[in-house]
Structure 1
Amino acid sequence: MTAGQLIEVDGLEKVFSVRRKAGRLRRVRHEVRAVDGLTFQVPRGEMVGYIGPNGAGKSTTIKMLTGILVPSGGRLRVAGIDPARERTRLARRIGVVFGQRTTLWWDLPLKDSYELVRRMYRVPDAVYRTNLDRCTELLDLGPLLDVPVRQLSLGQRMRGDIAAALLHDPEVLYLDEPTIGLDVVSKAKVRSFLHEVNAERGTTVLLTTHDLTDIEQLCRRVMVIDHGHLVYDGGLDALRAAAGGERTLVVDLERELPPIDGIPGARTVRVDGPRQWLAFPAAQSAAPVVTAVAERYPLVDLSLREPEIEGVIARLYRGADAVGSEIGPH
């Protein structure tokens, strides 16, 4: 394993063979490339967002990283281990949360599920107690420990699943849609907890989600996958710049004035009384725009709005080939 790299993926492929109808009686075999030539590395302690549309290959990648699926080609190592060949050994070093499926025992109280997890992973009593107490406090699980899993709400169960995945001190945590269907309060608790786990324990996190607020609040690095190919790997700011789009400077003036004009690289897109909105390219620095406005107009306040990440991702999908040359390796 390369020094400092916990996850190493090189030319990874997964091909599924499916049969489709071709007439009334015939079925023809087709190959579906769910993952096609995927290459990336994740250093120890990093929290990475892994995003893409439905069917892009995200969950297939996670299943290969955990050893659930065997790759069709390429090379894959997690903590120096080949997941497909040493799945049991790897299981002690990873934690997994699938938002749509629980790893808890449906008819048992939450605390009994945790006790079974402790025995399965042979977690020392002191480590188990410390981790359980910490998860219980940060995820507000105290009132739920005696409740059967079947009686938990989706948000409560999700917090319970995340705690179960961390009881054995995994080096890497895979999260597949961990906030799906959760209310605002539950999402905030989960995000805060994940941030603390990553900061305090140095747990490596690979997060797949359709809630891009998760990515914006938790991850400095994001990887975008589409049709099994990695189309972007880098920071959110660079993603916005690579995919185009505009930033918006919201200007509050002392009084109502005609639309702001003559600011290099910017244009006024909206006026509402003394408040005006100026748009400029996402790749452009805001400093010259702010300076020019401040020098020429009587200001009360300024605020900068970044382009919505959903729109950025949509533009990236539409123009993956065009921006591909702008995207360098991480």
Structure 2
Amino acid sequence: MKVIEARGLRKEFVVRVKAGAIRRQKRVVAAVDGVDLAIERGEMVGYLGPNGAGKSTTLKMLTGVLMPSGGDVRVCGFTPVPQRVKLARRIGVVFGQRSQLWWDLPLGDSFDLLRHIYRVPAAEHALRLDRCRDLLDLDAFMQTPVRQLSLGQRMRGELTAALLHGPEILFLDEPTIGLDVVSKQAVRGFLAELGEKGDTTMILTTHDLADIERLCQRIVVIDHGRVVHDGTIQALHDRYRSRRRVIADFDEPIQTDIRLPGVELESSTGTRLIFAVDEVGPLISQLTQIGSLRDLSIAEPEIEDVISRLYLSS
């Protein structure tokens, strides 16, 4: 079942640009320019793009914050803006730069207020809160005012707040921005476990591609307001012929001329050979025959590299 359907989704803004020493003239800019998107229940989708590509604008239209300039969009069966009150009960939103918690109240009091706002039965609320307290380790700061929380603690609180009413879709806009390594691991682990259950659809926008690799089976890349890729990470690697690297260290310097289809020698420095390869198996078989192999490692292609190549080509 599709929980998000968008066809020709468009958002235009009017900006004023310089047209002389003191004159300004209006110009229409399309922040989102004809996006088609269909997302099934339970999917975890990474929504990527450079700054200004239209990621956050898309999320704001899907959540009912912004009215589209054109196109059709349905989220959980609702049209977001005119039915945003009904939609709000079916979605959760986490924006890394904005808070839905009460700044001067203890974290636990914010959770209790949200229960009343969303009219969640007490037993359901307690069950979900207990799960989040356990998985996100909230107990140590449940009675701390939100303004005194660290960024990592507040983000764990934001995730909990977004989930207490049992949303069908969770929109995450830069959820790990500014977090330390430990906090990032806690948030990623929680989201991964949530996604494995298949009950919650997640749409994640981020510049931290480690989040995408860990969490998302599908990525949608947007640039200049248009979708330029919709598929798996592997499909993106295949599209740009990203290749793994095999690093072979020998006990003694090696002089070799390995010629195999899909294998390219990138560097040879004494006892170390580095190859870019399509298939690892045939190369490893050859390497074991040409000398005393001390160490062998395989480096997966960097998603940052292929994403940057996609941006440059779009």
TM-score (norm 1): 0.90
CA offset digits 1:50-83 (Å, max 9, x no partner):
1110000000000000000010111111111110
Question: Are residues 1:309 and 2:303 paired?
Answer: yes
Q: How far apart are residue 301 of structure 1 and its match?
A: 4.7
The equivalent residue for 1:199 is 196
How do residues 151-230 of structure 1 correspond to structure 2 at under 5 angstroms? Answer: 151-200=148-197, 202-230=199-227
Amino acid at match of 2:302: E
CA offset digits 1:7-49 (Å, max 9, x no partner):
1111100001112232244221101100001002111001011
RMSD: 1.7
Amino acid at match of 2:25: V
Length, aligned pairs only: 314
Amino acid at match of 1:226: D
The equivalent position to 1:11 in structure 2, one of 5, 8, 11, is: 8
Q: 1:274 to 1:202 in 2, by over 3 A?
A: farther
Structure 2: distance between partners of 1:24 and 1:273:
64
CA offset digits 1:89-133 (Å, max 9, x no partner):
000000000001111110000000001110110111111001111
Question: Are residues 1:120 and 2:114 paired?
Answer: no
Q: How far apart are residue 191 of structure 1 and its match?
A: 0.2
Does structure 2 conserve the Cα–Cα contact (< 8 Å) formed by 1:243 and 1:313? Answer: no
How do residues 106-117 of structure 1 correspond to structure 2 at under 5 angstroms? Answer: 106-117=103-114
Structure 2: distance between partners of 1:76 and 1:198:
24
The equivalent residue for 2:279 is 285
The equivalent position to 1:61 in structure 2, one of 43, 58, 71, is: 58
How do residues 36-185 of structure 1 correspond to structure 2 at under 5 angstroms? Answer: 36-185=33-182
Sequence identity (%)? 54
SS at match of 2:114: helix
Runs of 5+ unmatched residues, structure 1: 321-330
SS at match of 1:62: helix
Structure 1: distance between partners of 2:93 and 2:231:
24
Runs of 5+ unmatched residues, structure 2: none
Q: How far apart are residue 190 of structure 1 and its match?
A: 0.2
Q: Structure 1 residues 110-119 or 296-305, which shifts more?
A: 296-305
Does structure 1 conserve the Cα–Cα contact (< 8 Å) formed by 2:43 and 2:198? Answer: no
Does structure 2 conserve the Cα–Cα contact (< 8 Å) formed by 1:105 and 1:113? Answer: yes
